[in-house]
Structure 1
Amino acid sequence: MIAIYVRVSTEEQATKGYSIENQIEECIKKAGTSDVLKYIDEGFTGEIINRPNLTKLRDDVAKGTIDKIICYDPDRLSRKLMIQLLLDDEFSKKGVQLVFVRGEYTNDPEGKMFFSMRGAISEFEKSKIKERTSGGRRRKAKNGLVVKNSHLYGYNFDREKNTYVINEDEAKFVRMIFDYYTKGTFKGINGIANHLTEIGAPTKKRAKVWHRQVVRQMLMNEAYSGTYIQNRYDTEGDYVRKQAGEKVEYGRVKPQEEWIITEIPAIITKEQFEYAQLLLDQGRRRHANGSFHKYLLSGLVRCGRCGCTMTGRRTLSHGKDFFIYECRKNYAGAKTNGCGRQMSENKLNKIVWEHIIKIINNPEEVKDYKEQDEKTYIQDEMDHLEKEIEKIKKGRKRLFTLVSLSEDEDMDLEEIKDQIRELQQKEKDLQHKYNELSDEIKLQDKDANGTALEEAIDYYLINKANDFTYEQKQTLIRKVVREVVIVDSETVYIHIF
């Protein structure tokens, strides 16, 4: 069977001669028949080998279903010479003929040399294109132009002049944010975000709520004082790594001498921006100096009733500070408010710490504990989710009945439709969680991983001669505990690795 392989990257979508349709047409003409298998990778760079349809083509070649492969040009196969040569060798070992529309290729020393030269030239051209593109962007930035539209709140992007112009409808809220923060009108960033949500201030993406992190980022952005920094972050190779499925570490900052400062219209004064940075820095230093209470199980506690994470909170009891874990999300932008379940921090810390020491001193019981305890915890949660899903279904049914039977012309149908949509989404989310737990319970027969426990035992033996510090306790717990689930004041499931 004849196969054709075509590829176009995102940056080449509009390039003449490299459109998907043109490549297919030319490859079919070269094949002399329309009876071909098509392998199309659209929007993928030629610098990686792990492309969906190239992988499928290689698998089919390995199965012996392909006799000939036609490709428009060697650089459609790959932009890198080493990948081209690897694929050519892989195909030839299976007796598959590789043919290109642009330029004949023969499987002999001369043909291979020509193929290698074409590949090297293609790779060189790609590097030169990158160099010219990045160089052109830097020159534009140095000439005072804004190279890329970052959709900066408070501004519109003028494509003709390559700069930002103030969007007054949004800029007034930028001024509000800085005024609120520097004058202490509301309690912190969270209070500002909640207020903006309450008054219906528009976000850039027209979201319904303002998140505290968005407000924080705006307060830290010097662009609002007229100083827009370009060439600040190192994104070299991010696109290729992302398409290759590798983890991309965003926010890598270049040396300050490489930054390019561009002036744009200011929404606030530099003095107000600098004062906001001073206040932000004071807040960070207060946190670093330990004025905030440290929670031993921070990030590990979850509510067994509604599934939300539980966070630490200070409250007063008989005039003294009392710390608890609470299932409540009172910060701006939270998707759910939580169910309000509470538990004493001291009590929970004691339960978890004693349990960990018991496990460490009796490691042979770990596997039985995992199988019994986790299954119980998962099954309890699944039972709860089933009841919640059933409640939602009944709620939706009542709303549908209300709409179909009511003759009240003043009924707000749009509001009822919104309620139905919210219930549908909630049911979908709960069903997804139920399916995850169902899959997890099917894996209970697998052996427990003892590596984490072995590390914890070693750590415990090294440090047990002295009283454990807060940091040592937290380190030991995190080596063993994956999650702590609070069902009620007397029922706590400690989910270990």
Structure 2
Amino acid sequence: MELLTAIYVRVSTESQATEGTSLDTQQETCLKKAREMNINEQDIAIYREEGVTGEDLDRPELDRLRTDIRNNKINTLIITHPDRLSRDLYVKVSVCRELENREVNLIFHDVEYKNTPEGQLFFNLMSSIAQYELSQIRSRTVGGRKKAVRDHGKIMPMRVAPYGYDMINQQLVINESEAEYVKLIYQWYVYEFKTLKEIGEQLYLLGAMPKRAESRNWSASSIGRILSNEAFIGKYYYNKRATKKVKREEGGKSNKTASGKTKKTYTIRDKGDWILVNIPPIIDLGLFEIAQQQKKKNLTRKGRNVKQFYLLKGMMKCAHCGRKWESTTYSSKTKKGTTTYQIYRCANKYPRKYGEGIERCNIPTVRTDVLDEFVWNMIVQAIKNPENLKNNLNEDKSTEDLDKVLMTYKKQRLEKEKEKEKIKHMYRKGIISEEELDNDMNEVMKDISKFDFEIEKIEDKVSIIQRQSMSEDLMLEYARQYKDLLENDMLHDEKKREILDRMIDEIIISYNEENKQFNVSFYGYLNGFYNDTENNLVLELTPQEI
């Protein structure tokens, strides 16, 4: 079989690949080199890599070339410059070893390469310098992007804007039609308590189109991301994720996606490395935080399939040791036979760890029917008398004063950013020295950090007030929804559990040994409904109920 001469050319950007000039120039240069070596054009195979980075060893045309080399079809390889093979030293050395093992002659047009110890040393030195240059270019590029984001609020190019937004002139602007669906998703999730599946079905019926999909089918993960993305409250974070390309090992699984792109893994950077860009919000901050609480509840209370139904499963915590209360079934033998009954107990009553420092919690167990009835009666009172909640909570829910302070801090922070630019300008003009630059910049950055801290504190306060105010609204909405069902006694166990999940974040159980009484405290939307801790929150039990 007649052996061929291979020509490999590559460009790394899509624009170069589309224009074709760089590829064509490289190809013509290599063909000229082949003619100087008296190689016939019909004995030449061309491998054109269009718009593919040289950092990866896995490239379509390079893979085809390496396969032909392993099948002993190639005896000479011509490339314009080592950088076209790769700037990465590991990739270069890997390919060159394959060529050496198959006795393939490697020719570069722009540099002289000899397969001698001296030639290989020179080649490796050039490769190390190229790799260093690549790292420097990447560092400068990343630094420039961060500066554009931090100083000018520019949004860097992304594959697709978040649902509800469009990317226009490096800014995220609200897509009004998509934003309406975002609002509906939060409305359904928080106020109507729909599952992700039910929300997806509603979106499909309404004709809502997912951002990246070619059909109207919505996935639970897409809806979940919408319910947790802080962009919808006006906070877009740049430099949040670190990406790393997946390298394919010899004989291992493919590192390519269905579309042929290299797979990537993602990790979340430390929050201190994130850069915040303020964008137009779609969702109220209070509503967003209630949705996060609801997601957390759904996650922590999603238990395995069990034979017995426990109304308060996963909701109770022990005031004495801090452990969760669990539910189980006991059996006891009597003269009439074996009797089973359900109980709630602290998980630390019978700890699963043993040894020094492990102490049992001595709080008594409680019959589930007794505690369920007690808690449910509290819920019924709240639903039937929601006006009590309004009366017992502080009526002054205005954030007007906090908003003014917040605006002042943000203006002062902006002034510090301008001061930072002035210091840089003075250094570039030679007015101040490098030492003065460092000192002045350090002082300004300290002030900016202080403003960031104060701004975050105020935003947290505003968030709490908004969440409380919205909790009242939710409480009234829940009461309206369920009042008729309560009066008509139309509530089954699962519906009762649904109401509890909406209204209670946590139930704290404590026991007074002297009085033989349990104290029950509610946290969540019922918090504040009972501001009078008299007997309505004390559970007195007979010995048979414990």
Structure 2 length normalisation: TM-score?
0.48
**RMSD between aligned residues:** 3.2
More off after superposition, 30-39 vs 242-251: 242-251
Q: Give how far 1:223 is off.
A: 0.7
Corresponding position: 1:168 with 2:176: yes
| Aligned: 1:23 with 2:26 | yes
Q: Which residue of 1 aligns with 2:9?
A: 6
Q: 1:167 to 1:62 in 2, by over 3 A?
A: closer
Is the alpha carbon distance of 1:42 and 1:200 closer, same or farther for their aligned partners in structure 2, counting shifts above 3 Å?
A: same
Report SS of the residue matched to 2:243. coil
Once the two structures are TM-superposed, the CA of residue 282 in structure 1 deviates from its matched residue by: 1.5
Please say if residues 154 and 174 of structure 1, whose CA atoms lie closer than 8 Å, have aligned partners that are also in contact.
Answer: yes
* d(CA) in 2 for partners of 1:219, 1:16: 42
**Displacement of 1:235:** 0.6
Say if 1:264 and 1:135 are closer, same or farther in 2 by CA, change over 3 A: same
Distance 1:48 1:12, change over 3 A: farther
2:293 aligned partner: 278
The CA distance in 1 between the partners of 2:13 and 2:25, in whole Å, is 16
**Is the alpha carbon distance of 1:171 and 1:90 closer, same or farther for their aligned partners in structure 2, counting shifts above 3 Å?**
closer
Contact 1:10 1:44 in 2 (8 A): yes
Matching residue of 1:262: 277
Report the Cα offset of residue 168 of structure 1.
Answer: 0.8
Which of 195, 198, 201 does residue 194 from structure 1 map onto?
201
Match status 1:121 vs 2:121:
no
1:80 aligns with 2:88: yes
Match of 2:165 in 1: 155
The CA distance in 2 between the partners of 1:69 and 1:229, in whole Å, is: 46
Pairwise mapping of residues 287-436 of structure 1 onto structure 2 (< 5 A)? Answer: 287=302, 290=303, 292-293=305-306
Q: Deviations over 1:424-480 (max 9, x none)?
A: xxxxxxxxxxxxxxxxxxxxxxxxxxxxxxxxxxxxxxxxxxxxxxxxxxxxxxxxx
**Deviations 1:213-238 (CA, angstroms, capped at 9, x unpaired):** 32222111111010112211121345
Q: Give 1:135 deviation, angstroms.
A: 1.8
| Kept after mapping to 2: 8 A contact 1:30/1:101 | yes
- CA distance in 1 between partners of 2:122 and 2:86 (Å): 16
Match status 1:182 vs 2:201 = no
Q: Which runs of 5+ in 2 are unaligned?
A: 308-546
> Contact 1:3/1:70 (CA < 8 Å) preserved in 2?
yes
Closer/same/farther in 2, CA of residues 194 and 48 from structure 1, 3 Å limit: closer
Structure 1 residues 292 and 78, CA gap change in structure 2 (3 angstroms): same
Instruction: Give CA-to-partner distance per residue, 1:111-160, whole Å, 9 cap, x none.
Output: 334322321222112212221222222222222221133321111111x2
Which residue number in structure 1 is paired with residue 347 of structure 2? none
Q: Distance in 1 between the 2:20 and 2:69 partners?
A: 27
SS of corresponding position for 2:120: helix
Q: How far apart are residue 171 of structure 1 and its match?
A: 1.0
Structure 1 residues 165 and 63, CA, compared in 2 at 3 Å: closer, same or farther? Answer: closer
The amino acid of 1:282's aligned partner reads: K
Measure the CA separation in 1 of the matches of 2:305 and 2:49. Answer: 52
String of CA shifts for 1:45-104, please: whole Å, max 9, x gaps.
Answer: 323334444344344445544332110110112222243344334434544321112123
Displacement of 1:270 in angstroms is: 0.8
> Residue 27 of structure 2 aligns to which amino acid in structure 1?
I
Q: Distance in 2 between matches of 1:215 and 1:66?
A: 52
Equivalent in the alignment of 2:41: 34
Contact map agreement 1:44 1:243 (CA 8 A) in 2:
no
C-alpha spacing 1:93/1:170, structure 2 compared with 1 (3 Å):
closer
Once the two structures are overlaid, the 10-residue window that deviates more, 254-263 or 29-38, is 29-38
Q: Which residue of 2 aligns with 1:234?
A: 242
Structure 1 residue aligned with 2:538: none
CA–CA separation in structure 1 for the residues paired with 2:208 and 2:174: 17
Is residue 197–residue 210 contact of structure 1 (8 Å, CA) maintained in 2? Answer: yes
Measured after TM superposition, the shift of residue 190 of structure 1 is: 2.2
TM-score, scaled to structure 1: 0.52
- Letter of the 2:12 partner, please give it: S
Corresponding residue of 1:210: 218
Say if 1:168 and 1:240 are closer, same or farther in 2 by CA, change over 3 A. farther
Q: Secondary structure at the match of 1:29?
A: helix
Tell whether the 8 Å contact from 1:45 to 1:243 is kept in structure 2 after alignment: no
Q: Distance in 2 between matches of 1:244 and 1:190?
A: 32
CA distance in 2, matches of 1:61, 1:88: 12
Q: Which residue of 1 aligns with 2:498?
A: none
Q: Contact (CA 8 Å) 1:155, 1:167: kept in 2 or not?
A: yes
Matched residues in 2 for 1:71 and 1:95: separation? 16
Change (3 A) 1:291 1:4: closer
Q: 1:268 to 1:127 in 2, by over 3 A?
A: same
Give the whole-Å Cα distance in 2 for the aligned partners of 1:217 and 1:169: 18
Instruction: For 1:10 and 1:200, locate their aligned partners in 2 and report how far apart those are by CA, in whole Å.
Output: 37
The answer to whether the 8 A contact 2:244-2:265 is kept is no
Measure how far apart 1:4 and its partner are.
0.9
1:430 aligns with none
User: Given that residues 188 and 194 in structure 2 are in contact (C-alpha distance below 8 angstroms), is that contact kept between their aligned partners in structure 1?
Assistant: no
Provide the residue aligned with 2:111 in structure 1. Answer: 103
Bigger radius of gyration: 2
| Partner SS for 2:49 | strand
